[in-house]
Amino acid sequence: MQSMVVFYQCRSLAATDAFYIQQLGLKLWHIQNGCHIYDSGYGYLGFVETDHFELPAYSCISFNCENCAEVDRLYETFKGTEGVRAPQRHPQFAVYSFFIQDPDGYTVEFQKILEEGEQ
Cα distance between residue 115 and residue 94, in whole Å: 7
Q: Which domain holds residue 27?
A: 1-53
Whether 37 and 63 map to the same domain: the answer is no
Whether 69 and 40 map to the same domain: the answer is no
Whether 67 and 109 map to the same domain: the answer is yes
The arithmetic mean of pLDDT across residues 49-72, rounded, is: 95
The arithmetic mean of pLDDT across residues 46-52, rounded, is: 97
Whether 83 and 47 map to the same domain: the answer is no
Would strands 5-10 and 27-32 be described as parallel, antiparallel, or unpaired?
A: unpaired
Whether 38 and 70 map to the same domain: the answer is no
pTM: 0.90
Report the domain count for the chain. 2
CATH number at residue 32: 3.10.180.10
Whether 115 and 104 map to the same domain: the answer is yes
Query: With contact defined as beta carbons under 8 Å apart, do 5 and 92 qualify?
Result: no
Whether 60 and 6 map to the same domain: the answer is no
- pLDDT at residue 117 greater than cutoff 90: no
Whether 62 and 89 map to the same domain: the answer is yes
pLDDT tens per residue, range 66-89: 999 999 999 999 998 888 999 999
